[in-house]
Amino acid sequence: MDNSNIEDRISDILSNVYPNGLTYSEICVKVGSTKKSKQSVSQYLAQACLEGKIVKEKMRYRLQEQKQIAPPSSPSPSSEKEKTDAKLIEGVFDATSLSRDRSFAFVRSVDRDFFVDSEDTLNAYHGDKVLIEPHVRKGRGDYGIVRRIVQRANTQIPGDIAKVKNRWIFVASNPKIHNWFEINDLGGAEPGQKVILSVTNWGLQLEGKMPRGNITEILGKSGDPQVELLAVIRQYNLPLEFPDEVLAEVKQLSDSPSQIDIAKRKDLRKLFTFTIDPASAKDFDDAISIIRNDKGWKLWVHIADVAHYLPFSSLTFQEASRRGNSFYFPKKVIPMIPERLSNLICSLRPDEEKLCMTVETDFDFSGKVIHQSMYESVIRSDARLAYEEVDDLFEGKNHQLSDALVQALQEARLLSRQLSRIRKDAGYIFFDLPEIEYEYDAEGFVHHLGIAEETESHKLIENCMLVANEYVAALLSHKAPYSIYRIHEDPDRRKIDKLIETLSFYGIGYLEQEDMNRSVQRLLDSLPDHDYHRVFDRIILRSMKKAKYSTQHIRHFGLALENYTHFTSPIRRLCDLVIHHLCKVYVLGSEKDKPTSLLVKHWATVASEQELQADSAERDIERVYSATYMKDKIGEAYSGLVISANSSGVIVRLNDMPVSAMLKKDQFGRGKWEYQDWAMRHVNPTNNDSFELLDTLKVRIMEVSDDIYLELTGEVDDHKHYHRVQRQAKARKPRIRVDAKHSHGKIASKSNKSGRRR
């Protein structure tokens, strides 16, 4: 019996005779019990399950019922409705837990996350778009069964090769690719090289078959920073080049604005204006002007008018709407728009006439807004400043700034302090989460890891940008039928309850205030010292929801703002570029091409998804660079602080450098160690010893592979408990009260790789 007959026979049996399903053995009996037919039945059932034609539940196979519905995720504006099972939900497969040797994964859908047992994942891999059959359980988390792979996240995977028991295997650079791949063709690759695997077969978990592929490209030597960076770029399918037609379109643009364009705008070329950016920046998309008057201050926030050069119909806008944002890596930027636009035509470089969108605001001396307006302008920046120069002035150090700059910066500093006070009074939540700074040797290798702290100059620019973003969001909410908002929903009460349980064990009280913002604010302010902030700032942040872009008008919890969007970085963010167009259409009337609500919703989705991509890519390169830096330090001893824990062990942040590493529980010492998730600690019930948050350890670098692994030094004092606080033996879970006016609700500020906080 050939395969086509097998398929027809099984379909006929399951649809007409046994609609509730049959076991594998029962199906074999029905189609004819020969060795060849059993093999054909097994192969067909496995493939049919992968394709979603057949469902396997409790060892029984049944046909999948098909109905027409719209896909659950936001479609591309031009895409047609798919035919999918009405019971199935589309989502993205998250294999983080599988990669940590857990027996489950998650599927992240638009509305919620679904738990997926490892037996129910088919052959899905991290980032794949899948269809799941959802099951909702009262009082427990929702779970799903993966029924179909809709789209692979990546079929070209970077990684390394190794020989295991006379077989060549491929290990992906991304640790979330949770399986090894068997290699069909080495393509001339050798161990120690970073390579690209083209997947030819994703394997069949139901039959225990490994995924396979061919080595099709050799990137270079593993450990070389540029090779590792290229591997991350390839892992996320980031575009290194712009299409020729886009570059040709940009080439036609003039380097400077025409007199016709200037005549249509408010002329601010004589207004004293300056930019403040990282020293390495080339794309200056915002500038400010400020004067003091008898009522208070007048502040101008000038933002590069990228939309003027990129109408919706342009190829360059369409390319930007696919990229979603610029990606910032050490010594490498993948821009959202071509560099001729980002670094030359639109960049607010000093002594050059530039087209802008300007938000003008009058403040009184207490920082209260008196009046605001927005208009198209032309400016001429007088100075390009780096954050360090401004900080030198504020700290009383020697500087080379002109008197006009000093006066403007001091006035901006006074206004910024008033704005910070107002924002904190309103419930603004600030997390001090410094980023890693890389320093390189002559060969381009990282020779030092430092910390980039937020300073008063960063806060000054952030406050100015918040003024513009808040005003534009409020303006569009009244004048436009739809817009994109930067939203941050109120925290989930269950997560806050769990957080309180953990905090109380470490002696940290949670005192309810009149609303959740002030409760979290007071919690952060109550942490007694720097070590507490090193540990608990990130834990508190993870208990919050993540900020995102949405067409829903929802408040921003972390900023304590009812109206908020992103308007101030159109060179590097899609949301800002779209917002500029909406302002031109619905507020200024200078543009007639109105996008549909479906398009705006689609752009909001792309902006959110690409932001997640950027965050993940930046975390991966940080992990890779840290590991590369630590490889020649195996055997060296360091002190560190336990900042987190999971069932595998504890995460230790080294004190001498911004590197986190894993001390696995098999390094704790003798005994059976039990993990207490609610307290984030491991306990040995035999002697009541424990490894928990805030413990200080003396460790040695033991191994650097997919992560950095530690061992205790063996000294008498290599493990010290933090006894400054009296912990509660059992944590209580006080109820959380959320202020009704905030029930519609990323935290206040997270810096990006360009060093700006907006």
- pLDDT-wise least confident of 21-35, 284-298, 536-550, 642-656: 21-35
Most confidently predicted of 561-575, 652-666, 705-719: 561-575
Whether the CB-CB separation of 266 and 376 falls below 8 Å is answered with yes
pLDDT digits (tens, 9 = 90+) for 616-635: 898 888 888 888 889 889 99
**Which residues face 334 on adjacent strands?**
327
What is the pTM (predicted TM-score) of this model? 0.82
Predicted local distance difference test score (pLDDT) of residue 454: 85
For residue 357, pLDDT over 90 is answered with yes
Q: Residue 84 above 50 pLDDT?
A: no
Q: Which whole number is the average pLDDT over 206-227?
A: 88
Is the pLDDT at 736 greater than 70? The verdict is no
Q: What angle do CA 134, 551, 559 make, to 5 degrees?
A: 100
CA dihedral 253, 255, 261, 263 (to 10 degrees): -160
pLDDT confidence bin for 17, thresholds 50/70/90: low
- CB count within 10 Å of CB 190 equals 9
pLDDT attached to residue 140: 62
Position 444 pLDDT exceeds 50: yes
Burial class (CB in 10 A: 0-12, 13-18, 19+), 339: middle
Question: What is the pLDDT confidence band of residue 156, given thresholds at 50, 70 and 90?
Answer: very high
Confidence at residue 476, expressed as pLDDT on a 0 to 100 scale: 98
Q: What is residue 3's predicted lDDT score, i.e. its pLDDT?
A: 57
Residue 50: pLDDT band with limits 50, 70, 90:
low
Please provide the DSSP assignment of 599-611 as one string. Answer: HHHHHHHHHHHHH
Q: Report which secondary-structure segment, H or E, holds 409.
A: helix 403-426
Q: Which pLDDT belongs to residue 4?
A: 58
Per-residue pLDDT at 571 exceeds 50: yes
CA of 339: how far to CAs of 246, 257, 302, 346, 571, in Å?
Answer: 12, 17, 20, 10, 10
Phi-psi region of 354 (alpha: psi -120 to 50; beta: other; left: phi over 0): beta
The pLDDT > 70 percentage for the chain reads 88
Backbone angles phi, psi at 143, to 5 degrees: -130, 160
Q: Which residues contact 358 (CB under 8 A, 6 or more apart)?
A: 266, 268, 300, 301, 302, 303, 374, 375, 376, 377, 379
Digit-coded pLDDT (tens) for 453-462:
889 999 999 9
DSSP label of 390:
H
What is the structure's pLDDT at 38? Answer: 72
Could you give the dihedral angle defined by the CA atoms of residues 94, 99, 104 and 106, in that order, rounded to the nearest 10 degrees? -10
Confidence of residue 126 (pLDDT cuts 50, 70, 90): very high
180-204 confidence digits (pLDDT tens): 999 999 999 999 999 999 999 998 7
Measured in whole angstroms, how far is the alpha carbon of residue 306 from the centre of its chain? 25
Are 728 and 709 in contact, with CB atoms under 8 Å apart?
no
Residue 532, pLDDT score: 93
Q: Which helix (H) or strand (E) holds 505?
A: helix 493-505
Q: Is the pLDDT of residue 407 over 50?
A: yes
What pLDDT score was predicted for residue 501? 92
pLDDT tens per residue across span 21-31 = 787 777 887 77
- Which of these ranges, 45-54, 58-67, 107-116, 413-422, has the smallest mean pLDDT? 58-67
**3-state DSSP helix/strand/coil % of the chain, to nearest 5:** 30, 30, 40
Can you tell me the mean pLDDT for 24-41?
Answer: 73
Question: What mean pLDDT comes out for the span 135-162?
Answer: 85
Instruction: Note the residue count of the chain.
Output: 758
Of the ranges 207-211, 450-454, 559-563, the best mean pLDDT one:
559-563
- Looking at residue 499, what is its pLDDT? 93
Q: Which pLDDT value is given to residue 456?
A: 95
User: Average pLDDT over the chain, rounded to whole?
Assistant: 86
Specify the pLDDT at position 425.
Answer: 93
Residue 78 has pLDDT above 50, yes or no: no
Task: Say if residue 479's pLDDT is above 90.
Answer: yes
Most confident region among 80-84, 97-101, 402-406, 616-620 by mean pLDDT: 402-406
State yes or no: pLDDT of 756 exceeds 60. no
Q: Tokens representing 487?
A: 């939203």
Most confident stretch, 157-166, 208-217, 456-465: 456-465
- Predicted pLDDT of residue 30: 75
Terminal Cα-to-Cα distance of the chain (whole angstroms): 66
